[in-house]
Structure 1
Amino acid sequence: MPDTPLFYLDNETDWEDLGDGVTRKICGYDDKIMLVKVKFEAGAIGSLHKHYHSQVTYVASGAFKASIDGSKQILRAGDCFYAPPNDIHGVLCTEAGVLVDVFSPMRADFIAV
């Protein structure tokens, strides 16, 4: 079992600076699933990338231009997207906001050793 608490308290968790107007908080995980909050400043980019994990992303606030395997959509608070394993995907933040990412299995590359 990973070193993740049973309860996540947002006001007791610091944002991890990823640079270029993007920060994140890892909220909880085990080897099968992970939930991550990612905060974007307006104009910040979640670069196009791919990984073997399934990903569902919920737009908690703000507005984003999302791209998944060449399909594009503007998403706002309450919207979601699904990025299948190995599909190239990314976002451009058009209005500062927060995305909530769920990965399966967990993103071991996000955990500092």
Structure 2
Amino acid sequence: MTAYLHIGTPKTGTTSLQNFLIANENKVLNQAYIYPKSLRMANRHWALVDMVLELVQKEDILKKESVLSHIANERLLRTIENFKSESALHKDKKFIFSCEGIVWDFSTKKHVEILEKIMRE
């Protein structure tokens, strides 16, 4: 999967970008891109942040082959399953993710490394 990740630094038009992608969802799909619904909370992919914030608490999580298998939160587990289904339906698309929570809540290199592992799974 090819994925583009917009981290939404403050005052860069993040909300406008997110609203545009949702308002033009079908046009975006027709251009071989998808702004996935399954990970969205409101207009942004906050579930990615929530996954990292849960996993960052776990010791040695970066040594694990699969970090997603260590998620315990039921809402996030459902979200992961929904995303797997959505990505299987759109495996020919390039994925666009956007969440300003990455800038707000990720304060260590470990946060970013966990997000990278999630994206690769």
Q: How high is the TM-score relative to the length of structure 1?
A: 0.24
The structure whose residues are more often helix, as a share, is 2
Larger radius of gyration: 2
TM-score (norm 2): 0.23
